[in-house]
Amino acid sequence: MRAPSRLLVWSIAAALALPALACRSRADDREDARTAARPSSAAVPPQASIAAAPVPAAPADARPRIVVLGDSLTAGLGLPIAAAYPSLLQQRLKAGGLDLEVVNAGVSGDTSAGGLARLDWALQGDVRVLIVALGGNDALRGLPADQLQQNLSEIIERAQSKGIAVILAGMEAPPNYGRDYIVAFHKVYPALAKQYHLAFVPFLLQGVAGAERLNQRDGIHPTAEGARIVADNVWTVLKPIAEAEARGRHGS
């Protein structure tokens, strides 16, 4: 099976990033935890312990929520809160008159298993849409593709059982585990999208991976400009769903 061209782009980016990733210290990991995803798109004081911050329970009149469940790419590692792509999605919703709250449930270093473990926490409140953007760390760790598929399947099924619309964002594997793994990993996302009838972003980092000017010095995390492109990728799929949710809320 011939891999898609975007797979080659991500493979190049990952190959450049892996040496930097290997040099990350435990202090870096602790910093990731401190700068992990905020519980919502609203600003959080820099001194706050982000990893420990719970998503607040929603009052009866709270806005419906769009939750973005992801890793450091979603958390916006290395960027101001307002520059992370979930915050950019919030701006677009506001500009379109769509009264929905975006909750940034991205945690740096998280895997699909980690996302599954904190799913109940992430789905607090009146959640209408769940964007699942996990898998990058699974790939870097060489997690078997069937385990990735199992974890994502459970996330999707649990969300759908609550009547939540799910958007799945695809990710690609780096080249160091070989072509068989790359292809198996790639197949997980479209297969799940088809199986569960999901709205689908084929590759979260389309147009960003491998572009030096769009990535930070680590070669992994997008710059502010790169995050805007990631927001474009997600917004294309999210917009019609958000509009439908807003129409349904107002009964029009």
Active-site residues: which are they? 72, 218, 221
Map the chain to HEC letters.
CCCCHHHHHHHHHHHHHHHHHHCCCHHHHHHHHHCCCCCCCCCCCCCCCCCCCCCCCCCCCCCCEEEEEECHHHHCCCCCHHHCHHHHHHHHHHHCCCCCEEEEEECCCCCHHHHHHCHHHHCCCCEEEEEEECCHHHHHCCCCHHHHHHHHHHHHHHHHHCCCEEEEECCCCCHHHCHHHHHHHHHHHHHHHHHCCCEEECCCCCCCCCCHHHECCCCCCECHHHHHHHHHHHHHHHHHHHHHHHHHHHCC
